[in-house]
């Protein structure tokens, strides 16, 4: 099974990854750009899966499906996709179609990534879709906090979000760590419940209007397939933004310099006070703003000046010089000296992740 690294899906832990075993998939319909017939029996066998029109359009031969299965048949999906850039065929549907082929064709029937790549290259199909096995762990710490008799819908939405990142970094020239996507529109359509008992295939199609390999905006459609039927579809429109630009835009008017925030109990925050002579003391952070902070009294007297360090886990590190404004029996009020732009942005990132407003009512 082909595991996917969490960071490729913008996740930190393997337990949060909901997709595995990525595979390439065949298009449901396309116009072939091939100028000559292939001599490869594997490509020719895959060709036999399609009805070919006079204008060289290939349309998948749909197997006769049972109406007893719930969900949307892929034949309906294909009919509705006549004007779409791409609508790929789930491997579950291909498996049903393979059963209808003559026995002498099965020898060359190959759905591997190598075979599909050769098929797409022969026909000049440049737009690629991806298929995944959905990881449905019924003991998942977040999605199954209580028993469910079907797969939670919010779990499907998260899987769709993860598929977006995989598709972007795998089938475009955008690089992980340099860009991110900021979801602007989402349309989720559910045709039936996703059952716990059967495997679920996730297929993502690129419906982006342009063919550039570095699109400024992507339109991705994620389908969930079970027992050969489509259960749900999530269409997402998202601008692609340089990561540094995204962070600046995200933080620009998030809060004012004087707004104060208190740490969330579970946040992995460590605060440290360092005297000019190097002596240090761990402190509790009561409140923080971009201009200063309020802390517990240090265990040792460190004078009226020092350096305040705030750590968020092992990821973010804020450090600046500070002066004591006043002291009470329980706390010390510190004013930050000149804070560099970079350090101020780091503090904004920490506040976003582990603090709540001290001055605003929850209602």
pLDDT digits (tens, 9 = 90+) for 130-151: 999 998 887 777 777 777 778 8
Task: Enumerate the domain spans of the chain.
Answer: 6-247, 255-357
Whole-number Å distance between alpha carbons of 10 and 278: 38
Quote the pLDDT of residue 232: 96
Written out in words, the top-level CATH class of the domain with range 6-247 is alpha beta
Q: Tell me what percent of the residues of the chain surpass a pLDDT of 90.
A: 63
| 157-177 tens-digit pLDDT | 999 999 999 999 999 999 999
Place of tokens 């049972």: 66
Whole-number Å distance between alpha carbons of 92 and 78: 15
The model's confidence at residue 104, banded by pLDDT at 50, 70 and 90, is low
Q: Count of CB atoms within 10 A of residue 214's CB?
A: 11
Closest CA to 299 of 275, 323, 322: 275
Quote the pLDDT of residue 163: 97
Residue 322 confidence (pLDDT) above 90: yes
What 3-state DSSP class applies to 16?
helix
Quote the pLDDT of residue 153: 86
Whole-number Å distance between alpha carbons of 129 and 270: 44
Alpha helix ranges (H) inside the chain: 41-47, 74-80, 91-98, 113-123, 153-171, 243-251, 341-354
Which DSSP category does 27 fall into?
A: B
Per CATH, is 255-357 categorized as 2.40.30.10? no
Mean pLDDT estimate for the chain? 89
Quote the pLDDT of residue 361: 53
Cα-to-chain-centroid distance, residue 78: 26
| 258-308 tens-digit pLDDT | 899 999 998 999 999 998 778 888 999 999 999 999 999 887 666 788 899
Quote the pLDDT of residue 255: 83
Dihedral of alpha carbons 154, 156, 160, 166, sign: positive
Whole-number Å distance between alpha carbons of 124 and 127: 9
Quote the pLDDT of residue 121: 96
Q: Do domains 6-247 and 255-357 have the same CATH topology?
A: no
Whole-number Å distance between alpha carbons of 218 and 171: 12
* Contact by Cβ (8 Å): 171, 209: no
Quote the pLDDT of residue 360: 61
Closest CA to 303 of 282, 339, 332, 329: 332
Residue 254 confidence (pLDDT) above 70: yes
Whole-number Å distance between alpha carbons of 69 and 53: 30
Cα angle 319, 350, 167; round to 5? 125
Angle between helices 243-251 and 341-354 in degrees, nearest 10: 70
Q: Count of CB atoms within 10 A of residue 14's CB?
A: 11
Residue 101 confidence (pLDDT) above 90: no
**H/E stretch holding 322:** strand 316-327
The model's confidence at residue 98, banded by pLDDT at 50, 70 and 90, is confident
302: left (phi over 0), alpha (psi -120 to 50) or beta: alpha
What 3-state DSSP class applies to 105?
helix
Quote the pLDDT of residue 174: 95
Quote the pLDDT of residue 295: 94
Place of tokens 């049903």: 96
| 40-85 tens-digit pLDDT | 999 999 999 999 998 999 999 887 665 566 788 898 898 888 888 8
Whole-number Å distance between alpha carbons of 255 and 253: 6
Both tokens of residue 284?
Answer: 């509790």
Q: Tell me what percent of the residues of the chain surpass a pLDDT of 70.
A: 95
């Amino acid at each position: 099974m082909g595991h996917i690294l969490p960071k490729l899906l913008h996740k930190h832990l393997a337990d949060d990854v909901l997709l595995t075993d990525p595979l390439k998939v065949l298009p449901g319909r396309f116009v072939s750009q091939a100028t000559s017939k292939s001599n490869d029996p594997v490509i020719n066998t895959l060709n036999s899966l399609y009805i070919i029109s006079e204008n060289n359009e290939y349309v998948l031969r749909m197997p006769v499906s049972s109406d007893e299965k719930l969900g949307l048949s892929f034949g309906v999906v294909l009919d509705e996709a006549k004007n779409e850039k791409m609508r790929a065929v789930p491997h579950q549907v291909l498996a049903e179609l393979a059963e209808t082929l003559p026995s002498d064709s099965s020898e060359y029937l190959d759905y591997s990534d190598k075979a599909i790549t050769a098929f797409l290259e022969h026909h000049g199909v440049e737009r690629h879709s991806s298929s995944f096995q959905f990881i449905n762990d019924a003991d998942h710490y977040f999605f199954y906090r209580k028993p469910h008799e079907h797969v939670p819908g919010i779990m499907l939405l998260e899987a769709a979000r993860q598929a977006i990142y995989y598709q972007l970094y795998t089938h475009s020239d955008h690089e992980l760590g340099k860009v991110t996507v900021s979801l602007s529109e989402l349309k989720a359509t559910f045709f039936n419940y996703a059952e716990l008992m059967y495997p679920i295939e996730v297929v993502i199609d690129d419906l982006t209007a342009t063919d550039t390999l570095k699109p400024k905006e992507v339109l991705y459609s994620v389908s969930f397939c079970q027992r050969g039927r489509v259960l749900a579809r999530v269409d997402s429109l998202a601008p692609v933004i340089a990561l540094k630009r995204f962070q600046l835009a995200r933080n620009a008017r998030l809060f004012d310099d004087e707004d104060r925030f208190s740490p969330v109990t579970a946040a992995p925050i460590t605060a440290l006070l360092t005297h000019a002579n190097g002596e240090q003391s761990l402190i509790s952070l009561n409140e923080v703003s971009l201009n200063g902070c309020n802390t517990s009294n240090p265990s040792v007297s460190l004078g009226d000046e020092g350096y305040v360090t705030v750590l968020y886990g092992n990821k973010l590190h804020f450090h600046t010089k500070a002066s004591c404004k006043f002291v009470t029996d329980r706390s010390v009020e510190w004013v930050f000296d000149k804070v560099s732009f970079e350090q101020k942005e780091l503090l904004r990132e920490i506040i976003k992740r582990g603090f709540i407003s001290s001055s605003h009512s929850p209602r």
